[in-house]
């Protein structure tokens, strides 16, 4: 089987949360096969930087900056979106999951399309689709339109992630390539750090729609610059996209996540929920069968036989399925529960992203001297400790309760991401690095999608139980729904003044107790990921240069 697809090497939003410049430079080594694969490069002599190369770097960094901002910005803006569109809690979950699912499902297929039709063409299509999706999001008049528009964004995002680093690998060589990846890594760090504060400022000062409108001029300029300055390149070893694998994988994930989200509304024994789980099992089993039989699978299942690759994939899922999936609920708690604005919430979330950026820089340098298992495993353990430290919330808790947990979890995330990226590509032959990196990023997006859905179900169930237990007999479900809709203030204001303090305390206590359940679950996921990473990741699995 020929999987010579170096220009398929990808990074998803989860990588960008913490991958610093060192991680980006380290991944440059994996891009070398682009030349070995015979991909035509526009650059001149090794190490030289021409005008077209500079424009390539600019458009790739602009696209990356735009994509990463949308990941963190959307989370901070979700409570405002929920209020303006009168969206259900389920719809809020789908705003996150629609993007993550399409990104996960199409990431690997997009790399095959780039091989076949050309990096510049496919990258341009990704820019157009993502920009159009952003315009649709900005103009959304209801939650359904917003969710569908986010899916369009996810399609464009998958294409861009699958081609961005490959464009740099093709157009830069020698020391210039290290410089290009260093700049790209710095952009990812800056975008991630600015995301919460910029998203909060736009949402509070203008509107949540501004977080999508800002992508339009960036996208248009990037499209024009790409068509004018970026040179086309194709792989002579291109294979047909694995549409059967992509279809079964996408359908399986969608019905699984739909079932998990519906379980939060109807319960785990609901017929439709059980039907979704059964359909997911059948579809994902079909995906395994397809991948075993097609000549050029998008997911080479034999890679999972490599303990280190399996451990890295589990760690990728655990990282995004724990801390990053929890961000949605932390933001909802800070805004809907404690009453902070989007800007105030964004400032507080900077504690996490700032610590992650600093730790990623240190981890990127340390990975050359320390075994990756002793960065990834302990890093995930720190994420678990950070989530556990956030527990113990009650009706009187303020945001300061999160400070220690934010710092520890951010430190852990920063230790995990740079070596995790190198683990994915370091245990395979260079010509398979694109697929390996793509699978790692797919695991990240699946972690976010599944984690968001599972936490939402736990939150809804816990809220109903807490409010029923507090004496809201017969009204637990209605009050829980109101809390999930961000209507705490209106509910409290609807009762007689003498009852308002008591009701507010009950609602906040139920909210806090539900958050504790989520934090405990997320911490366990991270802890399991830490143990498996330490057990499975082995130095002897890495391919020697």
Q: What is the pLDDT of residue 377?
A: 94
pLDDT string in tens for the chain (545-residue length): 444 333 333 333 334 333 333 333 333 333 333 333 333 333 344 444 566 678 888 898 888 888 877 777 788 888 888 888 888 888 888 998 899 889 888 888 887 788 778 888 999 999 999 999 999 999 999 999 999 999 999 999 989 888 887 788 777 777 777 777 777 777 777 777 777 888 888 888 889 899 899 899 999 999 999 998 888 877 666 677 788 888 999 899 999 999 988 887 777 888 899 999 999 999 999 999 998 888 888 888 888 899 999 999 999 999 999 998 998 899 888 988 888 888 898 889 889 988 988 888 888 778 778 888 899 999 999 999 999 999 999 888 889 999 999 999 999 998 998 788 778 778 887 667 777 878 888 898 899 989 999 998 898 888 877 776 555 444 555 566 666 555 555 566 555 666 667 766 777 888 888 899 999 999 999 999 999 999 999 888 887 54
Fold of 6-242+294-541: Growth Hormone; Chain: A; (1.20.1250)
Domain boundaries, the chain: 6-242+294-541, 243-293
Asked if 361 and 22 count as a contact pair (C-beta separation under 8 A), the reply is: yes
How far is the C-alpha of 501 from the C-alpha of 544, rounded, in Å? Answer: 65
> Exposure pattern of 479-517 as b/e (b: 16+ CB <10 Å)?
bbbbbbbbbbeebbeeeeeeeeeebbebbbbbbbbbbbb
Instruction: Compute how many other C-beta atoms are within 10 angstroms of the C-beta atom of residue 302.
Output: 12
What span, in angstroms and rounded, lies between the C-alpha atoms of 503 and 491? 9
Integer Cα distance of 237 and 10 in angstroms: 18
pLDDT of residue 23: 37
φ, ψ for residue 463, nearest 5 deg:
-60, -45
Q: What is the structure's pLDDT at 483?
A: 62
Residue-wise pLDDT tens digits, 370-407: 888 899 999 999 999 999 999 999 888 889 999 999 99
């Amino acid at each position: 089987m020929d999987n010579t697809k170096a220009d398929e090497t990808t990074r998803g939003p989860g990588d960008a949360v913490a991958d610093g410049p060192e991680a980006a430079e380290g991944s440059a080594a994996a891009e070398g096969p682009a030349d070995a694969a015979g991909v035509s490069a526009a650059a001149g002599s090794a190490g030289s930087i021409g005008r077209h190369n500079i424009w390539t770097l600019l458009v790739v960094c602009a696209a990356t900056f735009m994509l990463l901002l949308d990941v963190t910005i959307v989370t901070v803006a979700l409570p405002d979106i929920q209020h303006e569109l009168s969206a259900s809690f389920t719809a809020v979950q789908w705003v996150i999951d629609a993007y993550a699912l399409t990104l996960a499902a199409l990431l690997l297929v997009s790399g095959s399309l780039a091989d076949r039709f050309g990096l510049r063409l496919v990258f341009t299509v990704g820019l157009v689709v993502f920009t159009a999706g952003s315009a649709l999001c900005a103009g959304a008049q209801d939650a359904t339109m917003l969710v569908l528009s986010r899916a369009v964004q996810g399609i464009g995002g998958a294409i861009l992630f699958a081609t961005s680093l490959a464009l740099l690998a093709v157009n830069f060589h020698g020391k210039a390539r290290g410089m290009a990846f260093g700049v790209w890594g710095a952009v990812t760090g800056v975008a991630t750090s600015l995301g919460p504060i910029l998203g909060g400022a736009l949402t509070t000062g203008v509107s949540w729609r501004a977080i999508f409108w800002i992508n339009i001029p960036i996208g248009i300029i990037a499209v024009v610059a790409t068509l004018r300055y970026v040179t086309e390149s194709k792989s002579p070893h291109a294979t047909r996209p694995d549409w059967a694998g992509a279809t079964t994988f996408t359908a399986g994930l969608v019905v699984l996540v739909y079932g998990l989200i519906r379980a939060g509304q109807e319960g785990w024994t609901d017929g439709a929920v059980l039907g979704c789980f059964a359909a997911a099992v059948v579809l994902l089993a079909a995906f395994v069968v397809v991948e075993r039989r097609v000549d050029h699978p998008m997911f080479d299942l034999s890679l999972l036989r490599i303990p280190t690759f399996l451990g890295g994939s589990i760690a990728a899922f655990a990282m995004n399925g724990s801390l990053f999936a929890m961000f949605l609920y932390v933001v909802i708690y800070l805004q809907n529960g404690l009453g902070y604005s989007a800007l105030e919430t964004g400032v507080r979330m900077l504690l996490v992203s700032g610590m992650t950026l600093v730790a990623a820089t240190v981890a990127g340098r340390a990975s050359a001297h320390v075994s990756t298992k002793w960065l990834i495993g302990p890093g995930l353990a720190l994420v678990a400790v950070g989530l556990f430290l956030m527990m113990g919330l009650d009706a009187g808790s303020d945001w300061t309760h999160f400070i220690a947990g934010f710092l520890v979890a951010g430190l852990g995330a920063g230790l995990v991401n740079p070596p995790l990226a190198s683990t994915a590509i370091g245990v395979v032959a260079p010509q398979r690095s694109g697929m390996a990196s793509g699978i790692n990023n797919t695991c990240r997006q699946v972690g976010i999608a599944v984690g968001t859905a599972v936490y939402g179900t736990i939150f809804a169930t816990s809220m109903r139980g807490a409010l029923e237990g507090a004496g809201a007999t017969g009204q637990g479900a209605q009050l829980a729904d109101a809390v999930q809709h961000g209507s705490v203030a209106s509910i409290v204001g609807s009762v007689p003044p003498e009852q308002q303090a008591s009701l507010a305390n009950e609602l906040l206590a139920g909210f806090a107790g539900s958050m504790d359940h989520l934090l405990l679950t997320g911490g366990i996921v991270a802890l399991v990921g830490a143990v498996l990473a330490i057990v499975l990741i082995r130095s002897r699995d890495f391919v020697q240069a």
